[in-house]
Amino acid sequence: MNFDLLTNTILETHISLQQSAVKAINIHLTIRNWLIGFYIVEFEQHGEDRAKYGEKLMVSLSKKLNNKSLSEGNLKVFRQFYLTYPQIGQSVITQLKNLGFTLPSIRQSLIGELQNVENQVFNKNEPIVNTENNVPQVPPEKILTKLSYTHLVQLFPISNPLKRTFYEVQAIKGTWSVSELKRQIASLYFERSGMSLNPEKLSQITHEKAEINHHNELIKSPFVFEFLGLKSHEAILENDLEAGLVEHLQDFMLEMGHGFCFEARQKRILIDEEYYFVDLVFYHRILKCHVLLELKTDIFKSE
């Protein structure tokens, strides 16, 4: 073995195991959130004291859990996750078995129900199609292993199953970054593809220009930081424009005028069960109000 071979071997080993670690963290995060959503729906349907909590269930749960990663807003989204993707149940069970993880003690029949969720949605001997509305479906194991939870959060609000499947396929096929998936949804790629006279050409152009996924970006997701119990100020999704403004923050604030106090960066907010990230948050001490700055290089959404 010469020096160059040694260098390449060490580098390849580092990259391979680093990617494996990031992938494992994201799969574990996705599994945890899906299971929590499953437990919540199960309690709502069969819980002995469910009537006691009613619509205040999420509030009561978040207070009792007292964990930032398990806030009221997150719990609502976990519930939405399960209701949107019930078909990944068997894949979740398989992953848990491979990890040697034992599900907490819950009523006996529930385990069987969980294991059969996927079979209730799909016929294994037929093409992967939802027989109820004939909408093509991405195999559950690919949803779990090819898309990070941060990707999936962008898909929850899409109520049209065909549209959601379209973006799942495109994101997996093009190994899109989260920001690229958001950009394509905002640019109405699904609708444009349906109206295009040459959708294959549109797809080729879109994927050629698309921003691909990088494992070091996935690990920066706020969901991952909360899951791992790391400090929230470290959960920053970088972009060049924002980084440039923050680097020259003093000059930037002077340009804006008097009274601005810098408060937060990439502030996460929840609107109608959909997450948004405010790029820069200021407080104006004279006007006594917050000023939110959203930096955009593509389509602006009113939220």
pLDDT, one tens digit per residue, over 201-257 is 777 878 777 777 666 666 667 777 777 766 544 444 445 556 666 666 667 777 777
Residue carrying structure tokens 């990088």: 214
Residues 6+ apart with CB under 8 A from 7: none
**Which tokens in the block code for residue 263?**
């408060």
Band of the pLDDT at 33, cuts 50, 70, 90? very high
pLDDT for 79 equals 93
**Closest by Cα among 26, 237, 274 to 149:** 26
**Domain residues of the chain, as ranges?**
3-218, 238-293
Stated length of the chain: 303
- Looking at every residue in the chain, the average pLDDT score rounds to 78
Measure the CA–CA gap between 230 and 243, rounded to whole angstroms: 21
pLDDT number for residue 217: 62
Mean per-residue pLDDT, 172-176: 89
Token output for 269: 């907010």
Q: What percent of the chain has pLDDT over 70?
A: 75
pLDDT tens, position by position, 253-289: 777 778 888 888 778 787 776 777 788 888 988 889 9
Stretch 104-116: mean pLDDT? 50
Provide the pLDDT for residue 151: 92
Against a cut of 0.85, is the pTM above it? no
